[in-house]
Structure 1
Amino acid sequence: MSDQNSSKSQGLSYRDAGVDMEAGDALVERIKPMAKKTMRDGVLAGIGGFGALFEVPKRYKEPVLVSGTDGVGTKLKLAFDWNRHDTVGQDLVAMSVNDILVQGAEPLFFLDYFACGKLSVDTAATVVGGIAKGCELAGCALIGGETAEMPGMYPEGEYDLAGFAVGAVEKSTMIDGSTIAPGDVILGLASSGAHSNGYSLIRKIIDRAGAKATDDFHGQSMSDVVMAPTRIYVKSMLALMAKMTVKGMAHITGGGLVENVPRVLPENTQAVLHRDAWQLPKLFQWLQKEGGVEDAEMHRVFNCGVGMVVIVNAADAATAKAQLESTGETVYQLGEIVARPAGAHQTIVI
């Protein structure tokens, strides 16, 4: 009885409860040089403080702040199963910066939230390394975030990711799709893969096919193809917008081609996409075949090889395509805007 009372009287620490504060401190030190590489004009205070400070660049006369937030979804389950933590950080950044880009915004800074049951400094540092790379590709600063170690909340080896980006656009140059009209041309920028959408279906197809991370897929490993990070279109699109008027953009995420393009279209217009304008990439061909997925479902769930849609005046289409290609994009002329027939869906694939 005395031994039991003695054990009860011993003081408990946070470590006894499952939280390793030293590991958290070690992670912050690992993160700091990664974040430093993303610094840009406007950062007043970044990693380490209670709040991150950013000054809107003075070149904006009437700045409008544009923000977006997202996660990585069930692509994380494959990251856990396949021990691939190097790409999901870029996915996280891309989901937010590509979203705010479509309104003409330049991403300024990004903050992330990493939550786990037990902190692995190496895993978390690998994830944050991907976040920092994404920020570099987007030209925005990683100026803060939160790492939460919460014993009992997550299975061992698993974590969750969320983040948000803040950007700015000149009020007079905001893009809202209101000027889109019949005759405009629809361009598509190639995706790098499935990006970060449709992974609940992708995982089900992988299970049905019995595919493994190490399987050969046209000269690459299955994990390299399926876990390829989301392409970030910021720099190429900002360069295009500096040279000509872009009438509308759509980031092709959850909902695929047919659900995202209508989000930028005036009610009286319809986007007609021609399926022979681009070739379905091999990953999507495999997913469709192995899953027996119908065409309509493919277009509703996946980007099908097109990660960003750009709508321009017909007279600007050739120049826009050439400009985007000069900055490294693969560009397809997908179709055109027409007057919307009564009761018709706003985007069709023919």
Structure 2
Amino acid sequence: MDYQEAGVDVAAGRSFVEKIRQDVQSTQRPEVLGQLGGFAGCFQLPSGYREPVLVSGTDGVGTKLKIAHSVNQHHTVGIDLVAMCVNDILTTGAEPLFFLDYIATGKLEPEQLAEVVTGIAEGCRQSGCALLGGETAEMPGFYGAGEYDLAGFCVGVVEKADRLDGSQVQVGDVAIALPSNGIHSNGFSLVRKIIATQGYDWYDCPAGLGGASLLDTVLAPTQIYVTAIRTALAAGLAIHGMAHITGGGLPENLPRCLNPGQSIRVDRTAWTVPPVFQWLTQAGDVSEAAMFDTFNMGVGYGVIVPASEVDGAIAHFTAQGMAAIAIGEVIPGDGSLAWAA
């Protein structure tokens, strides 16, 4: 017997590395030292920082992967993987520097996983960070045919004096919502249950989605906010806090950027909930409270600014192609989100 008979194809692994080489190289930054294929990735800190603080984050894509597996479409989940990580570290004001991925599968299929890495590279290019390295684990018998799992790891840097940690937020500051472009990468266990129990097919085009298929709607990749936020900071916009709206929705995530003794009051009529969430509410008979506790409901990212900066902030984000809107205000409280009456 040999390793291939046990289910691990070393030759397929080498083929996979060659397939992704060009994608990886397309993400390189000047600070990257060395080439693809080493035991470790090396990255030199950018110049110009007096007291650089490294910021790290890790995340995955969740059960959204089950949909990609079932329809054999894998490009967008790679973008999701990067977005979930870079949007998190961005909340500190950090510049994303480099990204690493971990891909685990039962049987390495080079074409399939190269498509995943193409998406990861695209997410890195959108974020301005280098795809510094990764690991592909072939584990026969652990995953079903055609299945894989993903994890991502991102490192960024921020000047110590500029790091956002909640201490800058003041009562009276205003929350500005940056729109999501769909479900992003949270709540897919509920999405999949609604589709399965109501007898829908991923290729169906329900009237509530304006002609779009369920597949195109739910696999839309997570919005990356790096350019919009980094340009705002570079322009001197006074941002006091930021929140990435992921699992737990607005109620759980928006208060995470506040000081102790503060809450935030949000007017849920300030923006129109996108059609996909309205459709899920109706198709699954899901309560409004459960929807807001599960999904982003159209708000993918929150930015806290002084009241005097609201107009300038909205103008900046609008110029970046994001329909920003003021949705709430920081108030004295216990760290919770309160809905405006």
Give the TM-score normalised by the residue count of structure 2.
0.96
1:191 is aligned to 2:180 = yes
Aligned with 1:296 (options 264, 284, 289):
289
Whole-Å Cα distance in 1 between the matches of residues 287 and 35 of structure 2? Answer: 48
Aligned with 1:84 (options 70, 73, 79):
73
Whole-Å Cα distance in 2 between the matches of residues 307 and 224 of structure 1? Answer: 18
Whole-Å Cα distance in 2 between the matches of residues 279 and 62 of structure 1? Answer: 42
> Given that residues 258 and 335 in structure 2 are in contact (C-alpha distance below 8 angstroms), is that contact kept between their aligned partners in structure 1?
no
Identify the residue that residue 169 of structure 1 maps to in structure 2.
158
Helix, strand or coil: the match of 2:75?
Answer: coil
Whole-Å Cα distance in 2 between the matches of residues 328 and 143 of structure 1? Answer: 29
Shift of the alpha carbon at 1:46? 4.0
- For residues 252-296 of structure 1, the C-alpha deviation after alignment (integer angstroms, 9 at most, x for no partner) is 011110001111111221111111110010000011111111111
> Given that residues 93 and 162 in structure 2 are in contact (C-alpha distance below 8 angstroms), is that contact kept between their aligned partners in structure 1?
yes
Identify the residue that residue 206 of structure 1 maps to in structure 2.
195
1:284 is aligned to 2:284 = no
Identify the residue that residue 223 of structure 1 maps to in structure 2.
215
Whole-Å Cα distance in 2 between the matches of residues 131 and 171 of structure 1? Answer: 29
Identify the residue that residue 6 of structure 1 maps to in structure 2.
none
> Given that residues 264 and 336 in structure 2 are in contact (C-alpha distance below 8 angstroms), is that contact kept between their aligned partners in structure 1?
yes
Whole-Å Cα distance in 2 between the matches of residues 197 and 332 of structure 1? Answer: 22
> Given that residues 103 and 175 in structure 1 are in contact (C-alpha distance below 8 angstroms), is that contact kept between their aligned partners in structure 2?
yes
Instruction: Give, as a single letter, the amino acid of the residue that structure 2 aligns with 1:60.
Output: Y
Identical amino acids, percent of aligned pairs: 52
Whole-Å Cα distance in 2 between the matches of residues 142 and 337 of structure 1? Answer: 37
Residues 311 and 46 (structure 1), Cα distance of their counterparts in 2 relative to 1, 3 Å cut? farther
- For residues 178-218 of structure 1, the C-alpha deviation after alignment (integer angstroms, 9 at most, x for no partner) is 12122111100000111000111111111122221211231
Identify the residue that residue 147 of structure 1 maps to in structure 2.
136
Aligned with 1:182 (options 161, 171, 176):
171
Shift of the alpha carbon at 1:345? 5.9
Structure index of larger Rg: 1
Shift of the alpha carbon at 1:41? 2.1
Identify the residue that residue 336 of structure 1 maps to in structure 2.
329
1:314 is aligned to 2:303 = no
Whole-Å Cα distance in 1 between the matches of residues 4 and 66 of structure 2? Answer: 27
> Given that residues 46 and 144 in structure 1 are in contact (C-alpha distance below 8 angstroms), is that contact kept between their aligned partners in structure 2?
no
Identify the residue that residue 263 of structure 1 maps to in structure 2.
256
Identify the residue that residue 119 of structure 1 maps to in structure 2.
108
4+ aligned runs moved over 3 Å, structure 1: none
Helix, strand or coil: the match of 1:336?
Answer: strand
Whole-Å Cα distance in 1 between the matches of residues 76 and 338 of structure 2? Answer: 32
Identify the residue that residue 272 of structure 1 maps to in structure 2.
265
Instruction: Give, as a single letter, the amino acid of the residue that structure 1 aligns with 2:212.
Output: Q
Helix, strand or coil: the match of 2:156?
Answer: strand
> Given that residues 231 and 307 in structure 1 are in contact (C-alpha distance below 8 angstroms), is that contact kept between their aligned partners in structure 2?
yes
Identify the residue that residue 338 of structure 2 maps to in structure 1.
348
Of the structure 1 ranges 77-86 and 132-141, higher mean CA displacement relative to structure 2 is found in 77-86
Whole-Å Cα distance in 2 between the matches of residues 145 and 179 of structure 1? Answer: 36
Of the structure 1 ranges 176-185 and 246-255, higher mean CA displacement relative to structure 2 is found in 176-185
Whole-Å Cα distance in 2 between the matches of residues 143 and 46 of structure 1? Answer: 9
